[in-house]
Amino acid sequence: MALIVQKYGGTSVGDVERIRKVARRALATRNAGNDVVVVVSAMAGETNRLLKLTNEISRRPSEREQDVVVSTGEQISVGLLALAIQELNGSARSFLGHQVRILTDSAFSNARIRSIDAAKLFDSLKRHEIAVVAGFQGIDEQGNITTLGRGGSDTTAVALAAALKADACEIYTDVEGVYTTDPRVCDRARKLERISYEEMMEMASLGSKVLQIRSVEFAMKYKVPLWVRSTFSDDPGTLVREEDKAMEDVLVSGIALDRNESRFVVRAVPDNPGVAARIFGALAEQGIVVDVIVQSPAREDGRTDVAFTVGRPDADKTFEQVKKIAEQLGAGKVEREEGIAKVSIVGVGMRNHAGVAAKMFQVLGGEGVNIRVISTSEIKISCLVDEKHAERAVRALHTAFGLDGPPKRGQEG
């Protein structure tokens, strides 16, 4: 008997009939002799609907109260799925985040899990029930409801799998696995049979929407075997696992595209110790994640320009904060730029091969794509480019690094 955690996203539970299909799949796993814990998201579109309501009431709603509202989407899903399993003569019990006691910090709308008390889930499994747990939500030390940010149900599922020492965590979504790039951008994208934790983390951080980055961090830390599968087919999906020698033989595993970038430049910043810490410390206090940072060489007047990118949802808040800090520092104007995108190549094989960056730049140059900013790590190279050129850049890199598969049906020629 194995203990399996299954997670189903909003599309998978988008209506009553889909919830019934999820119930049948979960029950089939249970009837095969496995213990089953199911984590579900809110029904497709429900979180956005709830967020819209909070914004209709308040132009800048309290994040604590907003979490109270948006967490109700998952409460509906777990109750309906438990009922659906019971209607199929299965045994199921639903749990909310505070009932399982998924303890988080108090960063409302983007909380991080600190601990999980799995006792109630183990009790449920001993009663041969399918435990149905609300994703995305938790509770802080003061008893406040918190939410884990977009994609947080993935994190809930993997964290539960780690706490329960599950044999596998299966993430069910509307795609059949992890692809070499977004199939909507490149019709020759291929599904990967497996990918390393590190590669998947980079892909997630660089714009891939298949898995939330914190869920992959949990999986890597606790060595949870992670499967990405489709709710709507029996395809075996993609296994996310520890790196092995064969993975290093592949130069580039995937191409990522992130259109979710806003760029800021703070002009004429005093080139003094501690100045960067003040700028980025203020953003960190607001829970704003900064991506690419570039500081120009100091000029003769002892000043420099600092440029960086953040996700577009944080752009307004970033602009307000940076203008305040710039004024306090006696810096120049703050510039904000949209219409940019980040194109990245990812692969653990980069560690042992030279010339990867040169090839990437040659390909982009050959396509007439101007590189605005370059950022690298051990297993990825990212370039900021004008958004209008981004898809063409992805397709050219996908071909150049040998990732093309056959064109999708109906798209030949």
Using the structure block, give the residue that is written with the tokens 């949802």: 313
Give residue 411's pLDDT band: very low, low, confident or very high (50, 70, 90): very low
* Structure tokens belonging to residue 161: 């799998």
Q: How confident is the model over 189-199, as a mean pLDDT? A: 91
**CA–CA gap between residue 380 and residue 346 (Å, rounded):** 4
**Rounded-to-integer distance, Cα 318 and Cα 206, Å:** 20
**Residue 318 resides in a domain:** no
Interatomic CA distance for residues 121 and 116, integer angstroms: 10
% pLDDT > 70, the chain: 97
CATH number, domain at 170?
3.40.1160.10
* Residue 246: pLDDT over 90: no
- Look at 234 and 369; give whichever has higher pLDDT: 369
As a whole number, mean pLDDT of residues 216-243 equals 90
Indicate the range of 12-26, 137-151, 164-178, 344-358 predicted with least confidence: 344-358
pLDDT digits (tens, 9 = 90+) for 48-83: 999 999 999 998 899 999 999 999 999 999 999 999
* 26 membership: H or E segment, kind and range: helix 16-31
**Alpha helices of 114-258 — where are they, by DSSP H?**
119-126, 152-164, 197-205, 213-222, 245-248
pLDDT for position 211: 86
Average pLDDT of 325-333?
94
Q: What crossing angle do the helices spanning 152-164 and 119-126 adopt, rounded to 10°?
A: 70
Q: Scanning the structure block, which residue is given the tokens 């993975």?
A: 247
Higher pLDDT, 269 or 408: 269
pLDDT above 60 (res 225): yes
Q: Confirm whether 207 is domain-assigned.
A: no
Start-to-end CA span in the chain (Å): 49
Q: How far apart are CA 245 and CA 250, in angstroms?
A: 10
Residue 410: what pLDDT?
44
Q: State the total domains in the chain.
A: 1
pTM for the model stands at 0.81
Q: What is the pLDDT of residue 241?
A: 87
**Does some domain include residue 66?**
yes
Query: Could you tell me if residue 30 is inside a domain?
Result: yes
Whole-angstrom CA distances from 34 to 25, 157, 395 are 12, 17, 42
Each residue's pLDDT tens digit, 92-128: 999 999 999 999 999 999 999 999 999 999 999 999 9
d(CA 82, CA 64): 28
Q: Residue 107 belongs to what domain range?
A: 3-174
